[in-house]
């Protein structure tokens, strides 16, 4: 292409690189184990598969823009009314909607760092300023996050468990934090990995939401992880009706498609079966972490479907060793590697790479 003058873009884009999803690698022997995106290792349940096939017959029609059946099913699952709910194209889409509702130049959005890599991207695109509060001991430092709130702050993300460290925020510290947050600041508790939590000190955001009845607390969830529907892109937020109404105003028309809506409803109807699968992942999580610890690795306790290895300068070297064995992991250069918990076979493939690697972290 010629060096022609291009149209003008927003200056904020100059500093951005597009989101880089977890990759897939194949070993020279043709082996491929994808442990880079925290997905469910299992495909849809037969009942969900059937619902998807039925819904696929009607895709000449637009989806229900209000996602009525899905919203009702979410409301009844979590003991709230439909007025409390906004849905979107993945919880990343809902995060963007949340920011569309509160963010503009001059506004600050506080979040921990390192945390979910979409936060800086979405905050930057919104025109707001991101305020990153370093993790302490791989965990949210909620006192420092409360200290970081100013008159300009309108939103705080708390990712619990945190991606990519798997670490958690406990009930007492979260309550203390919420007491310090002024009412005009919306706290978004991102619980993408909630279903994998087994530590009883970690509050379930939905219980907390009903119990506290605070207009500035919103709970963000996804169908992409425990519910195994990453490819269909459904996320939702439970919030005070006034907050949910504002968020719904930012909904890109029809952005939760009809197959996704139907699959979401069918998945909620099969919650028990899906959560039984989550138990298997939790068991594997223990096996993987225990195996790594026994092998001399340092691995923070994790309540999510992944483990975190802080590797610093060795990060890319270790991820290349994984690539060579066909195990795709998620490296954060100079920091560490996040490895999803997959099927027993996938986890074994990862454990053998870690075992054979000549250094420990």
Q: Does 190 bind ligand PMP (CB under 6 A)?
A: yes
Backbone φ/ψ region at 171: left (φ over 0), alpha (ψ -120 to 50), beta: alpha
The residues pairing with 110 across neighbouring beta strands, listed in sequence order, are 131, 156
Q: Does 230 bind ligand PMP (CB under 6 A)?
A: yes
Q: Does 224 bind ligand PMP (CB under 6 A)?
A: yes
Of 44, 166, 235, 342, the residue at the interface with ligand PMP (CB under 6 A) is: 235
Of 96, 126, 139, 163, the residue at the interface with ligand PMP (CB under 6 A) is: 163
C-alpha distances out from residue 344 to 41, 70, 103, 335, 350, Å: 10, 33, 43, 27, 10
Residue 328 host element (H or E): strand 327-328
Q: Does 159 bind ligand PMP (CB under 6 A)?
A: yes
User: Where does this chain touch ligand PMP (CB under 6 A) — which range of 86-94, 134-142, 281-289, 333-341?
Assistant: 86-94
Of 36, 38, 281, 315, the residue at the interface with ligand PMP (CB under 6 A) is: 38
User: Where does this chain touch ligand PMP (CB under 6 A) — which range of 88-96, 99-107, 196-204, 245-253?
Assistant: 88-96
CB of 192 to ligand PMP, least distance (A): 4
CB of 307 to ligand PMP, least distance (A): 14
Largest Cα separation within the chain, whole Å, is 61
Q: Does 302 bind ligand PMP (CB under 6 A)?
A: no
CB of 222 to ligand PMP, least distance (A): 3
DSSP SS3 for 43: coil
CB of 61 to ligand PMP, least distance (A): 25
**Of all residues in this chain, which one has the CB nearest to ligand PMP in the complex?**
90
For ligand PMP, the closer CB: 7 or 21:
21
Of 33, 116, 308, 357, the residue at the interface with ligand PMP (CB under 6 A) is: 116
Structure tokens belonging to residue 165:
């460290």
User: How, if at all, do strands 108-113 and 129-134 pair?
Assistant: parallel
CB of 232 to ligand PMP, least distance (A): 9
Q: How far apart are CA 235 and CA 90, in angstroms?
A: 4
Size of site (CB under 6 A) for ligand PMP: 13
> Using alpha carbons only, how large is the chain's radius of gyration in Å?
21
Q: Is 58 exposed, middle or buried (0-12, 13-18, 19+ CB in 10 A)?
A: exposed
Q: CA nearest 346: which of 326, 361, 331?
A: 326
Q: Does 90 bind ligand PMP (CB under 6 A)?
A: yes
Q: How far is CA 160 from the centre of its chain?
A: 9
CB of 38 to ligand PMP, least distance (A): 5
All residues at 6 or more sequence positions from 249 whose CB lies less than 8 Å from its CB, including other chains: 101
Q: Does 91 bind ligand PMP (CB under 6 A)?
A: yes
User: Where does this chain touch ligand PMP (CB under 6 A) — which range of 4-12, 85-93, 180-188, 268-276?
Assistant: 85-93
For ligand PMP, the closer CB: 139 or 224:
224
Q: Does 167 bind ligand PMP (CB under 6 A)?
A: no
Q: CA nearest 247: which of 225, 215, 224?
A: 215
CB of 329 to ligand PMP, least distance (A): 14
Q: Does 305 bind ligand PMP (CB under 6 A)?
A: no
Residue 72 host element (H or E): helix 68-78
Q: Does residue 345 contact residue 41 with C-beta atoms inside 8 Å?
A: no
Which residues would be at the binding site for ligand PMP (CB under 6 A)?
Answer: 38, 90-92, 116, 159, 163, 190, 192, 222, 224, 230, 235
């Amino acid at each position: 292409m010629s060096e022609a003058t291009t149209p003008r873009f927003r200056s904020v884009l100059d500093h951005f690189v597009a989101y880089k999803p977890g990759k897939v690698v194949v070993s020279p022997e043709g082996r491929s184990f994808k442990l880079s995106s925290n997905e469910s290792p299992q495909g849809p349940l037969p009942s969900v598969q059937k619902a998807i096939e039925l819904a696929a017959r009607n895709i000449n029609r637009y989806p229900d823009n209000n996602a009525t059946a899905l919203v009702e099913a979410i409301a009844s699952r979590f003991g709230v009314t439909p007025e409390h709910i906004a849905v979107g194209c993945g919880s990343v889409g809902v995060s963007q909607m949340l920011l569309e509702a509160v963010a503009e130049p001059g506004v600050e959005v506080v979040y921990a760092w390192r945390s979910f890599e979409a936060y800086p991207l979405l905050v930057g695109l919104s025109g707001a300023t991101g305020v990153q509060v370093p993790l302490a001991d791989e965990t949210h430092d909620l006192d420092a996050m409360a200290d970081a709130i100013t008159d300009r702050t309108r939103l705080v993300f708390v990712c619990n468990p945190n991606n990519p460290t798997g670490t958690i925020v406990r009930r007492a510290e979260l309550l203390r934090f919420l007491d310090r947050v002024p009412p005009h600041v919306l706290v978004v508790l991102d619980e993408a990995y909630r279903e994998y939590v087994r530590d009883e000190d970690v509050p379930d955001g939905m219980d907390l939401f009903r119990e506290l009845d605070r207009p500035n607390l919103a709970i963000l969830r996804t169908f992409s992880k425990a519910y195994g529907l990453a490819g269909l892109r459904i996320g939702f937020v439970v919030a005070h009706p006034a907050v949910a109404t504002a968020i719904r105003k930012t909904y890109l028309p029809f952005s939760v498609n009809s197959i996704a809506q139907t699959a979401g409803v069918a998945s909620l109807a099969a919650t028990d079966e899906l959560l039984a699968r989550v138990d298997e992942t939790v068991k594997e999580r223990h096996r993987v972490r225990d195996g790594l610890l026994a092998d001399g690795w340092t691995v923070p306790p994790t309540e999510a479907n992944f483990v975190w290895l802080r590797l610093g300068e060795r990060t890319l070297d270790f991820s290349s060793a994984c690539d060579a064995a066909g195990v795709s992991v998620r490296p954060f250069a100079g920091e560490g590697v996040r490895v999803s918990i997959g099927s027993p076979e996938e986890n074994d493939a990862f454990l053998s790479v870690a075992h054979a690697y000549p250094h420990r972290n």
